[in-house]
Amino acid sequence: MPAEAEREPAADAAEPPTIAPTSRRDHRTLVTVLLVVAVLTGLPAMLAVWVERQALDTGNWTETSAELLADADVQAALGAFLVDEVFRSVDVAGELERALPAQLAGLASPAAAGLRQVADREAPQLLARPRVQQAWRRANELAHRQLVRVIRGGGPVVATGGGDVTLDVRALVDEVAGTLGVEDQVVAARRQLQSPAGSAARGAAEQRLGVTLPASFGRITIMRSDELEAVQAVAKAIHGLAIVLTAVSLALFAAAVALAGGWRRVALRTVGWCFVGMGVVVLLARRVGGDRLVDALVPAESVRAAAHAAWTIGTGLLYDVAAAMLVYGLLLVAAAWLAGSTRPAVETRRALAPTLRDRPAAAFGVVAIAFLLVLLWGPTPVTRAPLGIAALAVLLALGVETLRRLAGREFPDARRGDTVRRVRAWLDERRRVGRREAGSEGTRTPIEELERLAALRDRGALDDEEFRAQKQLLLHGS
């Protein structure tokens, strides 16, 4: 019986090891599933955040529009559009024919064609002027404010737009017309087109030709009134997805780290690599997918360069979001490495332990200075937003405090200068080992020296007489 009693506790004690690995495997499986789902929700969250910031933020839209007009390819494409608007609104050949003497009236058409070439060449240069770029910036800002107001249901649609949201570039058309000397004709044509007689004539022409003619020139329609409901639904969906998907993804990442238990550092490192992977995927999609998308949607070779430039500039915020994910992922990986058990990580903590333990103000001060330098740089949108700055500051402070406590527990006896002394001792030892190895290579026994001489003779470096002389010198010293 006592033997059986002794065996029973032993059997009971043997049970936990069979259960614990299963529990750990279950946790690892669950953590893996959480990480996969977090990545799958994080990728569309990044896209939703980009679309909301780019399409529904007037400041970002205006900045992007200004960058677009500063691009040479976009200037060429928009310049061609503006020249088309001028020549569509004014019969340049007819105006020249009326201005020229009767005997030179036949030169009106060639002169108009030449003037068109001059306009095509001068229009991009005109768009590069600060005054014109400022007019473009104002036009985009006003149009986008109107668009956002309409989408969010917070204001009326401009009555003269017939319910459409338009980008007014008439100021740019007037600039081009002024350069060509036909500004008065453009203004007169605009007034005539907007007069009751012009509206009646346009309506009659539309019935006769079966087409829809523009009510005005120099306007680019962004959204028509019959598209309002669909655009409002899409905008609400994007806003909701940007918030919900981001929150869900971050919550899943946090849950994965919390469930990791004893291997949270490994889970945190994996989360960091997930962030890096998401950033790389979005950057590759922006580069490769953007090129293919533009090539598919813009068949005309003449404006494809401008379309590529527009894609690159228009997705600049997406690049910022992806780059931020990549940087934050690398920081998480670095934090997990610093808390790890590798020799470099342990030695780093040992070197930092005296300062972290005895001079916390200095440790936090150094980190604060580095953080301020990053804020001055502002590499990502989060480092330029008050809420993002506050969140990063809190996380950074928690990380420093965690590292300070860990180093204090691991190396309670570490003192300043220990690391320098260890490095010096290691270097001295390496130098001593090197000198011993060099000395051992320079000292040979007589037998080894004879073997070396024999090898030289066999290779023909020494003849028999030289070999005997060297052998005599080695053995007898004379």
**3 state DSSP class of 216:** coil
H-helix or E-strand containing 120? helix 108-127
- Enter the pTM of the model: 0.62
CA angle in degrees (0–180, nearest 5) for 473-477-478: 70
What is the rounded CA–CA span in Å between residue 52 and residue 240? 10
CA angle in degrees (0–180, nearest 5) for 59-243-227: 65
* Tokens 């037998």, located at residue: 447
Burial class (CB in 10 A: 0-12, 13-18, 19+), 279: buried
Cα-based torsion angle of the residue sequence 234, 239, 244, 249 in order, rounded to the nearest 10 degrees:
100
Distance of CA 145 to the CA centre of its chain: 26
> Do 165 and 223 meet the contact criterion of CB atoms below 8 Å apart?
yes
What is the rounded CA–CA span in Å between residue 375 and residue 390? 11
Q: What is the pLDDT along the chain (478 residues), one digit of tens a residue?
A: 444 444 444 444 444 444 445 555 557 889 999 999 999 999 999 988 888 888 777 788 788 778 877 888 877 887 777 777 767 766 767 766 676 677 666 766 777 777 777 777 777 777 777 877 787 787 777 777 776 776 666 544 433 344 555 556 666 666 666 665 555 555 555 565 555 554 554 454 444 434 343 445 555 555 565 566 676 777 778 878 888 888 899 899 989 988 887 888 889 899 999 999 999 999 999 888 888 888 787 777 777 787 788 888 888 888 888 988 998 899 889 988 888 888 888 888 888 888 888 888 998 999 899 889 888 877 666 777 788 788 888 888 888 888 888 888 888 887 877 777 777 777 777 777 666 655 555 556 777 778 888 888 877 777 888 888 888 887 776 5
**3 state DSSP class of 215:** coil
Both tokens assigned to 112: 């108009």
Q: Identify the pLDDT of residue 172.
A: 60
